[in-house]
Structure 1
């Protein structure tokens, strides 16, 4: 089990003020050439919703099934074997301590075959048990978000950068010849990391490198679509 930077209890707290920014703040932020979170009062910006609302939207995007549909939890991607409401891959469940395997997707196999061993964490001893355990899937995605946040911050620090160099800023990205302006928020970064991994999030922030998943989904879609939720 890897160390978790954010306490799970903190992920359930919806603060009175937030570091998340709505599109109405773009002009205000652009006035600051040396931007820092303390320079702009963004607590007045409205958020899209709380953590659970963000996760419900994420589950709908991941599975193609409407929010609230219990079949989200039992959904298995027929092409690559991702599991459940949040389409977990072998690698993240290995890191979270639910699963063990020497070979897994992108590390010796061409899909998530789930041929390894389940550790019985949270009572999960099989793929079927995970697919039929909504509560555990909700716990696991929160654990995953904590790990993603730790990894993003750690990687940026190694490059002498800080997450505060980007949070709340309106950044222009060029994708396929078009300019897209996105306000970087914590919820957007977490969703982007879930899609493409923390390393590709850092490459996006530092180098402007835009990546896509196996189905052609852009990291920018998740950064924008799931940005602006209060997840702290």
Structure 2
């Protein structure tokens, strides 16, 4: 009886050991299979990348830098106007300098009266009015200097090529009368403003812009519906 029990126990132990061994072997085989599949997928991805590179397809970086494009104004009238406004005030419509000149283009009060603007406070706080004032003043200056533009355009004075836009810019700085004296004296009669900026400087800096759309007008005035504070 005891012998039979021992035989059964030995048989059960043997069966248990075989089952444990089979389970471990199966787990190892599954692990090896998963690793093989993963390695296959990695290799397949590498092969795809290589194929795309070989066929000329470009792989973009994760963060492509953003390109910013700004309009190119060149030598247009808008470029002329904005360059002059930047030189006068850095484009600030609401500034007053130490000498009382106003706005983006730094107008004096007497010049404003010539073109029909009598309220400096409204002028300073109205960008649209300032832009209209610039056009009107340029038209008036072009009329005053019309003969001098025709006579001196394309000539060289003090090493500076004289252009219409340079003449109009200088007139904005110094007034058309001083520019007329400068041109007719071939540069001997100079002028500088309170900051030391000269006619020569403006003639050169603002040379070659297209100001052909400015019509000479002796009586150029700004027309705006309301100029009251």
Please give the TM-score of this superposition, normalised by the length of structure 2.
0.57
1:81 equivalent in structure 2: 100
Q: Mark the CA change 1:128 to 1:90 in structure 2 (over 3 Å): closer, same or farther.
A: closer
2:128 equivalent in structure 1: 135
1:168 equivalent in structure 2: 154
Where do 5+ consecutive residues of structure 1 fail to align? 1-46, 100-117, 119-126, 157-161, 174-180
The partner residue of 1:95 within 114, 122, 137 is: 114
Conserved 8 A contact 1:48-1:228: no
Q: How does 1:50-69 map to 2 (within 5 A)?
A: 50-63=76-89, 65=90, 67=91
Query: As a proportion of its length, which structure holds more strand?
Result: 1
Query: As a proportion of its length, which structure holds more helix?
Result: 2
Q: CA deviation at 1:128?
A: 3.0
Pick the structure with greater CA Rg: 2
Structure 1 residue ranges (4+ consecutive) displaced by more than 6 angstroms after TM superposition: none
Q: Which has the higher contact order (CA 8 A, sep 6+)?
A: 1
User: SS of the counterpart of 2:93?
Assistant: helix
2:160 equivalent in structure 1: 182
2:169 equivalent in structure 1: 191
Where do 5+ consecutive residues of structure 2 fail to align? 1-72, 213-229
Conserved 8 A contact 2:162-2:203: yes
User: What number of residue pairs does the alignment pair up?
Assistant: 138
